Amino acid sequence: MVHSLKGACVFGQSGGPTAVINASAYGVIKRALEIPEITHVYGAEYGIKGVLNDRLFDVSKEDPDELKFLLNTPSSVFGSCRYKLAKPEEDDTDFKRILEVFKKHDIRYFFYNGGNDSMDTCNKIGRYLDSVGYECRVIGIPKTIDNDLMLTDHCPGYASSAKYIATSCAEMRKDTAVYDVGTITVVEIMGRHTGWLTAASALARLCGAGPDLIYLPEITFDMDDFLAKVKDIYEKKGNVFIAVSEGIRYADGKFVSEATTSATDGFGHAQLGGLAVILADYIKKYTGAKVRGIEFSLLQRCAAHSASKVDIDEAYKAGVAAIDGAVAGQTRKMVAFKRKDVDGKYNMEVEYVPLDQVANLEKCIPMEWIDESGCDVNDKFIQYALPLIQGGFDIPIENGLPRYANLKKIIAE
């Protein structure tokens, strides 16, 4: 039987933002404010830095109606950081400070919302607090557009980026096909180590306008083969649309984006333009065609106006589950999603997995979901991703534009 733990809770957002990280924040906040054992609910300014600096926002001071707009507010409302903690056994300075601040505010619940590195932070804090005998329940909440966290079917944030990528690829494919003059378009999509986001471009085919070729970091990139394939499609169809992950690498392990910046290959400008521009340049020289390189850049991770309803809902639920799990005695765990379809219909259940087994690992697309050609995904990926992007684009609107949460952000004494 788990005993009841009374004290304050602190919630931090970490790493790159997503379209729905604030939906998880809303889940945490709303649920935490309802729990009698939780005496205070704090949001840390700039993630763990807010704890180190003792800059905690007292969210009970916020208007509950205003907080609700967090469901559709992009970016990380309390601020974020990319701050790597040392190993506590090597340097415990930060951990001592964290303990000091936790003691000051009687913090007994710590929730950290982020990706791989953030789960590592969360895990280290949990281990340290246990090692010094300070009772605090520590829960990680998954968040990453990259979708590369282990032990969870998918990560909140991914589906909204996938939906944005699918929608935008469909729109651009339509746009680039209007002239009877051939064009080749290369779209660069985020994902340094895994191809989940780039694979989502395949969903655009459901709009009748998807890419011809999809290049993922899971598959070794070969420039000659790439150029030959592009030229072949160009000669047959006159119009080629290519989705490519920023993380594609040559057989020697070098990123294509980096390898081509060496002064000797005549692409000395490459570090400026990004991979799409580099590949567009190669294609132009090889085919003589009109080629355009496009990078989604930040847009793919912040487009809350086109967020997936499923994603918003699940991100919110992950926040709620973090609170409920901690109150029920879970600690040093990450909230995870397990797919349990009911009567052939998509259904997701929450579970808690050990942070130890999540931190610093990366989940790639299974090889059996990748087409034999090596430059496409198959229906297994579509069946996986399609349920995640459901719903329309209706969001709270003011002045014809998205209505975001406008918080007071009052620092706790």
Positions that interact with its own copies (CB under 8 A): 13, 17, 46, 49, 73-76, 79-82, 163, 166-168, 170-172, 174-180, 203-204, 206-209, 268-270, 272-273, 277, 281, 292, 294-295, 297-299, 301-306, 308, 310, 386, 389-395, 397-404, 406
Least distance from C-beta 411 to its own copies, angstroms? 14
Give the whole-angstrom CA distance, residue 55 versus residue 72: 25
Residue closer to its own copies by CB (options 272, 367) is 272
Q: Is 376 a catalytic residue?
A: no
Give the whole-angstrom CA distance, residue 147 versus residue 154: 6
Q: Which residues of 157-182 are buried (b: 16+ CB within 10 A; e: fewer)?
A: bbbbbbbbbbbbbbebbeebbeeeeb
Residue closer to its own copies by CB (options 151, 209) is 209
Select which of 94, 120, 146, 281 is catalytic: 146
User: Is residue 337 within 8 Å of residue 152, measured between CB atoms?
Assistant: yes
* Assigned token pair, 7: 């004290």
Look up residue 377 and give its DSSP letter: B
In Å, how far are 18, 36, 126, 161, 164 from 234, measured between CA atoms? 35, 64, 55, 29, 26
Residue closer to its own copies by CB (options 326, 405) is 405
Least distance from C-beta 395 to its own copies, angstroms? 6
Whose structure tokens read 């490459």? 270
Least distance from C-beta 280 to its own copies, angstroms? 8
Residue closer to its own copies by CB (options 133, 208) is 208
Least distance from C-beta 174 to its own copies, angstroms? 4
Least distance from C-beta 106 to its own copies, angstroms? 26
Residue closer to its own copies by CB (options 28, 303) is 303
Query: 244: which residues sit within 8 A by CB, 6+ positions away?
Result: 186, 187, 188, 189, 198, 214, 215, 275, 276, 279
Q: How many CA atoms lie within 13 A of 23 on its CB side?
A: 26
Active site residues: 146
